[in-house]
Amino acid sequence: MIHPHLPLTHDLVLIGGGHTHALVLRKWGMNKLPGARLTVIHPGPTAPYSGMLPGYVAGHYDRDALDIDLIRLARFAGARVVAGNAQGIDLDTREVHVAGRPPIGFDLASVNVGITTDMPTLPGFGEHAIAAKPLGPFAIKWRAFLDGPEPGEVAVIGGGVAGAELAMAMANALITRGRTGNTITLIDNASALSVLGGGARARINAAMQALGVAVIENAQITSLHADHLLLDDGRRIATRFTTGTAKPRALDWIADTGLALNDGFIAVDATLRSSDPAVFAAGDCVHLSKSPRPKAGVYAVREAPVLYHNLRAVMTGDPLRQYRPQRDYLKLISLGAKSALAEKAGMVFSGALMWRWKDRIDQTFMNQFRELPTMDPPNIPAMHTTGLAQALGDKPLCGGCGAKVGRTALRRALTTLPQSRRDDIKPLPGDDAALLLTGGAHQVMTTDHLRSLTDDPVLMTRIAAIHALGDIWAMGAAPQAATATVILPRLSPALQDRTLGEIMAVAGDVMRAAGAEIVGGHTSAGDELTIGFTVTGLCEGAPITLAGARAGDALILTKPLGSGVLMAAEMAGQAKGAWVLAAFGHMVQPQSQAARILSGAHAMTDVTGFGLAGHLAGICEASGVGARLDLDRIPAMDGAVELATRGVKSTLFDENRALATTLPDDGKAALLFDPQTAGGLLAAVSPDQADTLVSQLADAGYTAAKIGVLTTGEPQVLLG
């Protein structure tokens, strides 16, 4: 384990989450390099393993079986994840440009972004067809076609190995579903399967014939239409689902990098280094200048150990290694059903045994990422004070609750403060923000700070800013001014400059979008990244407080629950990457529009560290009412209920549970005590307006719901 107080001195950025980089991340997690900050840039939370795509299309694997969870893998590697599309590399400034965020600086970078195809240039392809890669959009359209009630024709463009595998897989899936009357046509502008030997070609052609796949060779497609495609010889091929695996090409933005290229692909030497010494590359996006090879996943996988060593060697001053690709490789080709063909050096075998062999190889590869090694936490020193183990707890400090202390300790501390003797400060015990009277105007002020729950400072800044603004919005005020307080982990001067620049650029964008301006702040160095804001706001009328709720009011919540349990699970490697990214998406959603829609609320608060039950209890106590919640109507983030049912909890759960002992705490009910980061607004509104307000919130993009009512009687929260 890397010593937490060692400064970071180098930024290593992995552009793309391809097979090579996935293996580098796994190896990095086993042996992190002190002083290096690792970043991976990828459009989504997962990266599909192409070797199992035919098996998925044929119906042998579930969709999830193909995905490498990059969020979980990056947590294991200690890397920050930037979910976005790389759009370019500036070699002069050493920056990677990513859509929707400030540029990402690097000292060393590696590119493993895969490839695309020329098929969208075919007239009508964009409107009437779908490329087999990327997998996500293809999988959705294929599943919809497969589940459809009508028989239909399928056309696969590209008669290489990948196209043949895809055509046979589709045929098998339709036959297995009992879909009769379908035709599968494989079309190539040259001789199909020309990369294989005669024996392998013959067996695959026989397999395609047995599955009803028609092969058209040496044909040019002139245009695609909704129900057919046209060939240059005038033939019309009926098709209701058109896909393809035509000639690969490099992504467009690579051409503008200034790197030396070969036919659009990044040219690398034997060490996988490009023409720029600070940029390496691997996988299908490269041209191996010393030993050119076809595009095949086996090369990407075997490049990983060399790339891993060389990236570290550049930062440590050690010698580089050379990658020596094998001249030939074992080709394992799916034949539709659970049968496969193996070919190497002219030898050909096929049948169910080959399928089992291929499946074992694929599953072994994927299990590297499904079953990540458990890294033991540091031991408590042999000599320590009594109570240290109990205070430390059995899990790391939870980022999903902002590392807050519990409400009990906070209240006890606040009661020791002397009462204000100023007549321009109006006391609002327990409310979201302080109320100041400034020149006759109502001004509210609040402060919020969060320890980092993600290693991406841009995302963390956006979350922290939205979290701090929540108190202003909850009181019906318009954000006015903000100061930023930033604690950076120990970094070299260059990394300090990069990180602080990213943080302040995003902070300014978020505050300005909310109507406020950053007017100053303070920075310091510490053990970990912490970002906070002190924010003021102005109220046009009387502020919305906790104390105005009335019996009979409806309760509206504007965001789903679950960020605490999801972040706790993410830290433990138990949350799916898709769940984590979706949770971040909720956290960074501003509440400005929601606050305007709910401006007539009788009482309002934002749901944060004390959980829904705790914050609702605050309204009940201040207003002298009770509350009854409808658990089924309370929205939850993806994966939150599943994790809560499995017993995953944040470190603040027990403190929050003590605030509402009248409620159950199992299953979904556990989310009532889940601390939220940048949570939604909880508003008490007139019952006759509730449905209209929920509809307006939904139209504005909020996952809002009417979740309960306020009642007369004892100020307690109940279900039912």
Phi and psi of 291, rounded to 5°?
-145, 75
Residue 413 has pLDDT above 60, yes or no: no
CB within 8 Å of 303: residues ≥ 6 apart: 20, 272, 282, 283, 323
pLDDT for position 195: 80
Identify which has the larger pLDDT, 420 or 41: 41
Residue that is last in its domain, among 325, 350, 368: 325
In a domain, 388, yes or no: no
Mean pLDDT of the region 140-156: 86
Phi and psi of 577, rounded to 5°?
-60, -35
Indicate if 574 and 680 belong to the same structural domain. Answer: yes
CB 716 within 8 A of CB 662: yes
Percent with pLDDT over 70 in the chain: 92
Which sign does the torsion angle of CA 682, 687, 692, 695 carry? positive
Residue owning tokens 């990236």: 311
pLDDT tens digits, 111-121: 999 887 666 67
CA–CA gap between residue 133 and residue 137 (Å, rounded): 8
Indicate if 100 and 208 belong to the same structural domain. Answer: no
Q: What is the CATH number of the domain that holds 164?
A: 3.50.50.60
pLDDT for position 5: 67
Phi and psi of 555, rounded to 5°?
-105, 130
CA 412, distance to chain mean position in Å, is 39
Single out the catalytic residue among 398, 401, 539, 620.
401
Residue owning tokens 């995302």: 459
160 DSSP assignment: S
Mean pLDDT of the region 295-305: 89
Indicate if 584 and 695 belong to the same structural domain. Answer: yes
CA 387, distance to chain mean position in Å, is 38
Confidence band of 401 (pLDDT split at 50, 70, 90)? low
Q: Is 432 left (phi over 0), alpha (psi -120 to 50) or beta?
A: alpha
Domain count across the chain: 4
Indicate if 16 and 31 belong to the same structural domain. Answer: yes
CA–CA gap between residue 134 and residue 111 (Å, rounded): 17
Confidence band of 720 (pLDDT split at 50, 70, 90)? confident
CB within 8 Å of 197: residues ≥ 6 apart: 343, 346, 348
Confidence band of 196 (pLDDT split at 50, 70, 90)? confident
Which sign does the torsion angle of CA 77, 83, 89, 90 carry? negative
CA–CA gap between residue 685 and residue 297 (Å, rounded): 58
Confidence band of 182 (pLDDT split at 50, 70, 90)? confident
AA letter at 568: A
CB 561 within 8 A of CB 634: yes
- Which residue range forms the structural domain that includes residue 151? 119-247
Q: Which two tokens stand for residue 111?
A: 């590119």
AA letter at 135: L
Residue owning tokens 């193909």: 66
CB 18 within 8 A of CB 41: no
Indicate if 719 and 588 belong to the same structural domain. Answer: yes
In a domain, 2, yes or no: no
CA–CA gap between residue 345 and residue 329 (Å, rounded): 8
Residue that is last in its domain, among 498, 520, 543: 543
CB within 8 Å of 478: residues ≥ 6 apart: 472, 515, 537, 538, 539, 540
Q: Which two tokens stand for residue 289?
A: 């200048």
Phi and psi of 652, rounded to 5°?
-95, 0
Q: What CA–CA distances, in Å, run from 151 to 55, 57, 174, 212?
A: 22, 17, 9, 14
491 DSSP assignment: B
To the question of pTM greater than 0.75 for the whole model, the response is yes
Residue 599 has pLDDT above 70, yes or no: yes
pLDDT for position 411: 56
Residue 123 has a CB neighbour count (10 Å cut-off) of 14
Indicate if 586 and 648 belong to the same structural domain. Answer: yes
In a domain, 446, yes or no: yes
pLDDT for position 389: 72
CA 88, distance to chain mean position in Å, is 21
pLDDT tens digits, 647-693: 999 888 988 998 888 899 899 999 999 999 999 999 999 999 999 99
Task: Report the mean per-residue pLDDT for the chain.
Answer: 90
Q: How many CA atoms lie within 13 A of 520 on its CB side?
A: 2
pLDDT tens digits, 433-446: 788 888 778 899 99
In a domain, 361, yes or no: no
3-17, 204-218, 570-584: which has the minimum mean pLDDT? 3-17
Query: CA torsion angle for 589, 591, 592, 597 (degrees, to 10)?
Result: 130
Phi and psi of 695, rounded to 5°?
-65, -40
pLDDT for position 395: 55
3-state secondary structure of 488: strand
Confidence band of 399 (pLDDT split at 50, 70, 90)? low
Q: Reduce the secondary structure of 164-212 to three states and give it as a string.
A: HHHHHHHHHHHHHCCCCCCCEEEECCCCCCCCCCHHHHHHHHHHHHHCC
Residue that is last in its domain, among 543, 559, 576: 543
Q: What is the CATH number of the domain that holds 681?
A: 3.90.650.10
Q: Which two tokens stand for residue 503?
A: 């943080």
| Residue positions counted in the chain | 720
Closest CA to 177 of 19, 58, 61: 58
Identify which has the larger pLDDT, 442 or 416: 442
3-state secondary structure of 630: coil
Confidence band of 2 (pLDDT split at 50, 70, 90)? very low
Residue 655 has a CB neighbour count (10 Å cut-off) of 23
- Order of all β-strands in the sheet with 36-42: 80-83, 36-42, 10-15, 108-111, 279-281
Indicate if 487 and 615 belong to the same structural domain. Answer: no
Q: Reduce the secondary structure of 112-135 to three states and give it as a string.
A: CCCCEECHHHCCCHHHHCEECCCH
46 DSSP assignment: E
Residue 422 has pLDDT above 80, yes or no: no
Mean pLDDT of the region 83-105: 95
pLDDT for position 299: 86
Residue owning tokens 């075919």: 122
In a domain, 346, yes or no: no
Indicate if 270 and 320 belong to the same structural domain. Answer: yes
In a domain, 576, yes or no: yes
CB 563 within 8 A of CB 587: yes
In a domain, 334, yes or no: no
E strand or H helix that includes residue 485: strand 478-489
CA distance from start to end of the chain = 49
Indicate if 124 and 221 belong to the same structural domain. Answer: yes
Indicate if 486 and 567 belong to the same structural domain. Answer: no
pLDDT tens digits, 255-268: 999 999 999 999 99
pLDDT for position 1: 40
Indicate if 110 and 189 belong to the same structural domain. Answer: no
Indicate if 218 and 262 belong to the same structural domain. Answer: no
pLDDT tens digits, 334-349: 999 999 999 988 899 9
3-state secondary structure of 579: helix
Q: What is the CATH number of the domain that holds 486?
A: 3.30.1330.10
Residue 285 annotated as catalytic? no
CA–CA gap between residue 597 and residue 593 (Å, rounded): 6
In a domain, 364, yes or no: no
CB 314 within 8 A of CB 108: yes
Residues pairing with 682 in the sheet: 557, 605
Residues pairing with 444 in the sheet: 435, 537
pLDDT tens digits, 541-563: 889 999 999 999 999 999 999 99
CA angle centred on 432, ends 430 and 433, rounded to 5°: 105
Confidence band of 607 (pLDDT split at 50, 70, 90)? very high
Identify which has the larger pLDDT, 689 or 196: 689
pLDDT for position 406: 53
CA–CA gap between residue 603 and residue 601 (Å, rounded): 5
Q: Which two tokens stand for residue 482?
A: 């903000």
CA–CA gap between residue 705 and residue 720 (Å, rounded): 16
